[in-house]
Amino acid sequence: MKFSYFHLMPWTDLEEAPAQWPVSNRAFKPERGKELYDGYIDTMAFAEACGFDWVGCNEHHFSPYGLMANCNLIGSVLASRTKNIKLAMLGNLIPLLNPIRVAEEYAMIDVMSGGRLVAGLIRGVPHEYIAYNVAPGESRERLREATALILKAWTEPEPFGWEGEFYQYPSVSIWPKPYQRPHPPLLMSASNEDSAEFAGQHRAMMGITLIADLKLARRSIEVYRAAARAHGFEPAPEHILLGYNTCIAETDEEARAALREGQRYFHRVLMHSIRDAQRLVIQKSRFFAQEQHGERFVNRLETLKERSIDEMIDAGSVLCGSPQSVVKQIRRIHGELGAGRFNINMKIGNIPDAVVRRGMELFRDRVLPEVAAL
C-alpha cells in the first residue's frame, strides 16, 4: 500500500456561508493568508517525515474552498523543502489552461525535484469553467487534445508545429524537458465511467476524488482496467488512487467529534455556494457525456453532506477513528476494491492544525506499519 498526503488549503475563518459563487473576497485578510500558507506548507513538508509516499495538491478558483489557484507554485516550494517524497500535482485543470505553459511548469518541477513529479492532467469540476470562461461542453475534447500536445512537448526533440481544434502553435520546443523519461507518470480523474475510460485509454493512473459508494467506485475501476487493457496496458494496484477525507485521533470518539465539526464547516460554508454553481453548469451544459453521470455527481455531493460519520464509515467513504479502527477500514476497502494507493486529506474544513498533525503522527506510528504490506 502507498499513501498520498493531500491538502486543499482551505480558508478557515468565515463565520457564515457565502451567499453566491463567485465568492466575494472582502473577508480575505492577507496577513492571515500568509499565516495559513506558512502553516499549510509546513504540514505538507512534514508528510515526508510521516511516511507518506506522495504529497499532493490541486487547483481551484474564486472560492475560500481552497487557496491554491496554481498548485505548481506550491509544488515548486515543496521541491526544495523535501528530499524523497513524490510531488503529486493532482492537478492542473488542463482544459482551462495553456497546455504549453503546463508542460513547461511541470517539466521545471520535475527537474528541480530530481524526477519526483506525478503529473495530474485533470478535467476539473463543473463550476471552474465559469471562472475561466471556457465552455464546459468542450472540456473532454480540450483535455484530449491538450494531453496529446503536452506529451509531444515533453518527448519531441525537435521544434514542431501544432494545428488542432482548440490549440494552435507555429513552433514548440520547451526548455527544460522533464527529468523522468520518457515523461513523468500521469494521473487522471476517474470518478465516473467516462473519465475512467479516458484514463485507461491514456495508460495513466486513475484517481477517484472522494469515494461516496464502493459499488460505483468498483464500477469505475472495472471500466478503467478494461480500457487500459484494450490499449496495451495492464494496471497494477498502484495505478488506482482512492481519495479519502481522514481523521485519526487517539480514540474513535475524538476522531468522530473532530471530523463532525470539520465536515460541518466544509459542507455548510465552503461548499455552500459551489454546489449551486455546479448544479447550474450541469443543467445548462454537456459537461458530462451521459446525463445520469451528472445526476450521480450532484447526488454524491448531497449524500456526502447529509450522512452521519457512522454512515460514512459504513459506506466506505471516509477514514475516521483510532489508529486501530482506521487500519480495519483501510483493510476492508483494499480488500473490496484492490486499490494500491490512498489519497488522504486530513485538513477537512476547519479541523485544527494541531489535530491534523497529531493524526499524521498516529498514521506514521500506528497505522502505516499495519497496512504497508497489503
State pLDDT tens for residues 60-75.
Answer: 999 999 999 999 999 9
Which whole number is the average pLDDT over 273-300? 65
Alpha carbons 99 and 127: distance in angstroms, whole number: 20
Residue 253: is it exposed, middle or buried by C-beta count within 10 angstroms (0-12/13-18/19+)? exposed
The mean pLDDT of 314-339, rounded to a whole number, is 97
Share of the chain above pLDDT 70, in %: 93
Average pLDDT, the chain: 93
Going from the C-alpha of 17 to that of each of 126, 227, 272, 273, 315, the distances in angstroms are 20, 41, 6, 8, 27
Mean pLDDT, rounded, for 322-339: 97
- Cut 0.75: pTM above it: yes
Mean pLDDT of 13-21: 89
Cell of 233: 496496458
Which secondary structure element, helix H or strand E, spans residue 336, and what is its range? Answer: helix 323-337
What total number of domains does the chain contain? Answer: 1
Spatial distance between the Cα atoms of 253 and 260, rounded to a whole number of angstroms: 10
Number of other residues whose CB lies within 10 A of the CB of residue 145: 19
Question: The domain that contains 312 carries what CATH number?
Answer: 3.20.20.30
For the segment 281-286, the average pLDDT, to the nearest whole number, is 65
Give the domain extent around 86: 2-371
| pLDDT band at residue 294 using 50, 70 and 90 as cut-offs | low
pLDDT over 90 (residue 10):
yes
Say if residues 247 and 280 touch (Cβ distance below 8 Å). Answer: no
Return the number of other C-beta atoms located less than 10 Å from residue 254's C-beta.
17
* Residue 188 contacts residue 122 (beta carbons within 8 Å): yes
The predicted structure's pLDDT at residue 242:
97
Q: Is 291 exposed, middle or buried (0-12, 13-18, 19+ CB in 10 A)?
A: exposed
How far is the C-alpha of 265 from the C-alpha of 18, rounded, in Å? Answer: 12
What integer pLDDT is reported at residue 286 of this predicted model?
Answer: 62
Residue 213 to residues 10, 201, 244, 316, 349, Cα–Cα distance (Å)? 25, 24, 12, 7, 21
Question: Stretch 328-348: mean pLDDT, rounded?
Answer: 97
Q: Among residues 199, 197, 82, 111, which one has the least CA distance to residue 147?
A: 199
